[in-house]
Amino acid sequence: MIQNVIVMVNSRLQAIPTRKLIKSRKILLAIMFIPALLILIYGYFILFSELQNQLLKVMLPLIIIGGIFIPVLELGQINAELKRRKRV
């Protein structure tokens, strides 16, 4: 089952032209800047604020997972596909 998912992801990326992959890589890098900035802001409020709000403590992991971890995985797949195309 996992191999089927990997094949689907690889075939999805193989169908995209190289220029579009490079452009999407640049967009992902730019988009990842916003969650990184939010992590700094939320980290400041969690550490240095007397309002140790539970919402802030919940939002920080969500920002890390949704804003950085998932795009990094996608970025890794794009980079692997671009390297594969250079070798071929």
Chain segment 12-52, per-residue pLDDT in tens: 778 888 888 888 888 888 888 888 888 888 777 777 776 66
Q: Has residue 2 been placed in a domain?
A: no
Summarised one tens digit per residue, pLDDT across range 58-70 is 777 888 888 888 8
51 located within any domain: yes
For 68, the domain range is 21-87
Structural domain contains residue 16: no
Confidence of residue 53 (pLDDT cuts 50, 70, 90): low
Asked whether the predicted pLDDT for residue 56 surpasses 80, the reply is: no
Asked whether the beta carbons of 36 and 68 are under 8 A apart, the reply is: yes
pTM over 0.85: no
Residue 4 has pLDDT above 50, yes or no: no
Alpha carbons 81 and 10: distance in angstroms, whole number:
8
